[in-house]
Amino acid sequence: MKIIFSYFVIALMIANNATALATCTLCENKKLAILPRQTINNFVRNHQRWRLEKVNDHQQLACSVPCNLADATRIISSITAIAETQQHHPDITVTQENVTISIYTHSQNALTGKDIAFVTAIEKYLASTELVSNFSHQTEQLSNKQRCPAQELTLFLAQNQYWQLTPDAKAVQFSYNAPSFEVLAKALGQCLQLKDISSHIVEVFLSYGTCSITLQDNNQLISNETLAQAQACQRIFDNLIAH
DSSP string, 5-33: -TT-------GGGHHHHHS-GGGTT--PP
Q: Where are the beta strands (DSSP E) in the chain?
A: 51-55, 58-66, 91-94, 98-103, 163-165, 172-177, 201-207, 210-215
Give residue 24's pLDDT: 56
The CA distance from 168 to 180, in Å, is: 31
Counts of helices then strands in the chain (DSSP H, E): 7, 8
Same fold across 33-127 and 150-242: yes
Bridge partners, residue 206, by sequence:
92, 211
Mind listing the pLDDT tens digit for each residue in 124-160?
999 988 776 554 444 444 455 789 999 999 999 999 8
Domain ranges of the chain: 33-127, 150-242
State how far the alpha carbon of 103 is from the alpha carbons of 4, 58, 80, 167, in Å. 20, 11, 13, 28
Reduced to 3 states (helix: H, G, I; strand: E, B; else coil), residue 219 is coil
Q: How far is CA 143 from the centre of its chain?
A: 27
Phi, psi of 32 (to 5 degrees): -105, 135
Mind listing the pLDDT tens digit for each residue in 33-84?
999 999 999 999 999 999 999 999 999 999 999 999 989 999 999 999 999 9
Mean pLDDT confidence for 93-106: 95
Give residue 144's pLDDT: 57
Residue 162 has pLDDT above 60, yes or no: yes
> Residue 127: left (phi > 0), alpha (psi -120 to 50), or beta?
alpha
Please give the CATH number for the structural domain made up of 33-127.
3.30.1360.20
CATH of 150-242, picked from 3.10.20.600, 3.30.1360.20, 3.30.750.24, 1.20.1250.20, is: 3.30.1360.20
Percent of the chain with pLDDT over 70: 82
- The rounded mean pLDDT for the chain is 84
